[in-house]
A and B are shown apart, each in its own frame.
Chain A
Amino acid sequence: MADLRTNLAGIKSPNPFWLASAPPTNSGYQIMKAFDAGWGGAVWKTLGVPVVNVSSRYGSVNYRDKRMVGFNNIELITDRPLKDNLREISEVKKRFPEHAVIASLMVETREEWHSIIRDVENAGADGIELNFGCPHGMCERGMGSAVGQEPKVLQTIVGWVKEVAKVPVITKLTPNISDITRPARAARAGGSDAISLINTIQSIVGVDIDQFVPYPIVDGQSTNGGYCGPAVKPIALNMVKNCAQHPEVGIPISGIGGVENWRDAVEFILLGATTVQVCTAVMHFGFGIIREILPGIERYMDEKGFKTIEDFRGKALPNIKHWEDLNLKYKVTASINESKCIGCQLCYTACEDGAHQAIALSNDPANRIPTIIDENCVGCNLCSLVCPVEDCITMERRDDAKQHLTWAERTAAGNIPKTFNDELAGGLHHWVPEPGEALAKKKPRHYKG
């Protein structure tokens, strides 16, 4: 039976699923409810300098009928009094001593940092998360992502924190930076015990095309917000991987960004995260999603024979290489399972217009099953990605699996193309139709022009 207990730099929790510092952790009421539902930890909505919020705070990106595949906010840190939050932290810890309560903090001066750290430790917080990530509102005041974007400043502040902190310190990083490992290394250098990433990405989620103003609209105007939700997961995964692989980072990671189900969590853990933090999915579906997440990851671990999270943490990292180290001799081509094909021909039009013209249609209009032109197929996967039927188009290995040659190896051997029309270049021998053939091609009868 899977043991989900985790220990992130000394912060223990019954499972790796924490609520991220955000609206769902605004109060002791919400966090108690979440722990009762099964969540393992919660990062309290950031405590710190006093703020005032605007009304109209969130914006959403919908994809067709799917709501909130992306989400942004212009809400600031907590606007509740510090003393109320401290009292509630104590109450939650009293009722849930085994669960992780982490206080997210954002203040300005060294004195303020020292004072607020003592306060939250006295209240019973198991750890501290430094909010160096918020990309709106606070950064204009020299906090949040303004710190996260300046590794030297970040390192200094982490140093101040470590002067007094008795509980583990997590530094939360902003993704609004070109190389995430720079602030991550600065956090380590400053003495941070762990990092968490990513905070939200600066964004405009959409523009009201009638009022000519982006969302969310505040009295006819708007500002950039912080982007999160399922759409940011790929960016978060890559940044977690970058930190996990970098030898100079080397501290535990709490992964954040678009986690909504057990599979997302497993992916973050496979790339090196010890815990994951969730916000948007809870804002969308409530704390109840933990009912799907916990049995999901347990089943996965049992099936794979993983007894603890540590058994598979970072397990995908050795398989992530630089492009130049990938095997150029590996060859796949697409294969269409005719018995599953429903004849939508999305693969055809995707390959024809968007890729390598490697799919053909039958001359018989009654036969709508396309065929792969093997010699044109470069194995790009596009057809298998657009196919709406599970396992209908599969990518089949065509090389003999005995050869291995990378760009790096070719470079070392002096076997790489050097001029624009070099015979050694990749696309040179690929078949491409003549431009004029495009106009001679038979069009579906409803295509105009």
Chain B
Amino acid sequence: MAEYKRPSTEAEFAANFSPKKPLMSDTEAYYESSRCLYCYDAPCINACPTGIDIPTFIRQINNDNKDGAAKTIYESNWFGHACGNVCPTEELCEGACVYNNSDVKPIEIGRLQAHATDKVIRSKKKLFITGKPTGKKVAVIGAGPAGVSCACELRMLGHSVDIFEARAKASGLCVHGVAPYKLTNEEAVDEIAYLQEQFGFNIHYNKPVNGRAELDKLEKDYDAIFIGIGLGATSALGIPGENKKGVMGALEFVEVLRNKHQATAVGNAVIVLGGGNTAMDAASESCRMGAESVIIAYRRGPEEMGAYSFEFDLAKKSGSKALFNVTPVEIMGNGSVTGVKFIRNKTAYGKIEAIPGSEFVEPCDMVLLGTGQGKQVELLEQISGVKLDQKGRILDNRGRIVVNEHYQTSNPKYFAAGDAVNGGVEVVNAAAEAKKAAHGIDQYLKK
């Protein structure tokens, strides 16, 4: 039985999707920041991909300097507010907090971070002065965490920036792919507006960069190009029945949900295929949309799931059940989906093997594919000199996936970071990489 009643009003939707990490009040932030021990060479900093000086910003909050706290955060991470909300802090900074070693609740770093950044975003206080103009122009493709982070850093270095965004909103997966109880569209968009106001980069919306001709123009008009296009649509499973009504990608489902809220069509019996974080999100969200039964189906055992354990826990708490060691072989139904046929697996020497004759059908009226996103190969293949591997990942001039320490591709004018390069990790990784890429671009432009 589902825990959640199917929402029919915005208020009911908001109640079912109440923030996982609600904004802290001043009092709560004061008390929580008081607990920080101010460790030497603090493990939380070292656990943060962007290396935010966490004990310092917490001390700044505690000493009533929230602008200073926000500045400390943004200096390291231009997506400070989004990351405060969407980062898997349990696995990163908060997971590293020394309080964990004495069974004391770790400092709520993510919420403190969002508290400080929320203050400056609301007050529209400018914290940074952009660099002296260099006269150089950089085109950034994609206004997601990588693209916008790169743009901010480039502006700090004095280069002018035009961002080309395929969609109508900036912030990438922060508005399209993150669970609504982690970050609202308004929060995501407000942070971009705050950054844009401060740094003065241009965002050209609904301007996808397609084809060789458009790339040629960019190459002609700009001194360098940054690729922050993320990943593509959910990959197909390659099993019969995938095109039936009621089957969709988990990421696409999240995107619809974020925009249509309670009007999103969700079945009564949902099967989510996959063991990653997006699958967990889709399962939690289906529960919150009032589905009566939500089953996460994964090919291997629970310990091998790609999802963080806290995400699986959240999905379970929301009302999801899980089926392990099953492979979908066919989506059943006549036009609309009526079930998924699975075969059971056993694992031998790390490989999964189907158990002959173990097929069964699990009935459902909706299937969400949390089976990973494809790469945006179509665009990348158009860039002359940019090499991709068989999986569509961007390679550097030595054929390595990691581009290089400057995030420069094998075509020296092109740089890339974020999901397009790392294959899809966290917002915080994109922010960290894009900042380094901006410095790579800066060095390239100075040559």
A interface list, Cβ under 8 A from B? 64-66, 340-346, 348-349, 365, 368, 388-389, 444-446
Contact = CB atoms under 8 A, between A and B. Distances in A.
Contact of B51 (A342, A344, A388, A446): A446
Given A346-B37, A348-B40, A368-B43, 14 more contacts: A64-B34, A66-B34, A342-B98, A342-B99, A342-B101, A343-B98, A344-B37, A345-B40, A346-B39, A388-B37, A444-B42, A445-B45, A445-B51, A446-B52
Given A343-B101, A446-B53, A65 B34 contact: yes
Interface in B62-79: 62
A137 B37 CA distance: 41
Contacts of A342: 98-99, 101-102
Nearest to A348: B40
16 contacts: A64-B62, A65-B34, A342-B101, A343-B39, A343-B43, A344-B37, A344-B40, A346-B37, A346-B39, A348-B40, A368-B43, A444-B41, A445-B45, A446-B51, A446-B52, A446-B53
A176 to B, nearest CB: 31
Give the interface SS of chain B, mostly helix, strand, loop or mixed. Answer: helix
B444 interface: no
Interface string B16-57: 000000000000001100110111111101100001110010
Given A64-B62, A65-B31, A389-B102, A444 B40 contact: yes
User: How many B residues are at the interface, by size bracket?
Assistant: 20 to 34
A346 B38 CA distance: 8
Contacts of B38: 346
Contacts of B37: 344, 346, 388
Contacts of B43: 343, 368
Given A65-B30, A65-B31, A345 B99 contact: no
A388 B40 CA distance: 13
A269 to B, nearest CB: 32
A221 B111 CA distance: 39
A444 B38 CA distance: 13
B51 A349 contact: no
Chain A to chain B: the 6 pairs with minimum beta-carbon distance, closest first: A65-B34, A345-B40, A342-B101, A444-B41, A64-B34, A349-B40
Contacts of A389: 102
Contacts of A388: 37
Nearest to A392: B102
Contacts of A346: 37-40
A445 B47 CA distance: 12
Nearest to A444: B41
A368 to B, nearest CB: 7
Name, among A65, A341, A346, A446, the residue most crowded by chain B CB atoms within 10 Å (CB to CB).
Answer: A446
Nearest to B99: A342
A340 B34 CA distance: 22
Nearest to A365: B46
A444 B30 CA distance: 26
Contacts of B39: 343-346
Nearest to A347: B40
Contact of B45 (A341, A343, A446): A446
Contacts of B52: 446
Contacts of A348: 40
A303 to B, nearest CB: 28
Interface in B276-294: none
Contacts of A345: 39-41
B34 A344 contact: no
A360 to B, nearest CB: 13
A344 B98 contact: yes
Nearest to B45: A446
A277 to B, nearest CB: 30
B72 to A, nearest CB: 10
B68 to A, nearest CB: 14
A228 B29 CA distance: 28
Contacts of A340: 102
Contacts of B101: 341-343
Contacts of A444: 40-42, 45
Nearest to A448: B53
A365 B62 CA distance: 28
Nearest to B56: A446
A71 B101 CA distance: 36
Name, among B41, B45, B62, B99, the residue most crowded by chain A CB atoms within 10 Å (CB to CB).
Answer: B41
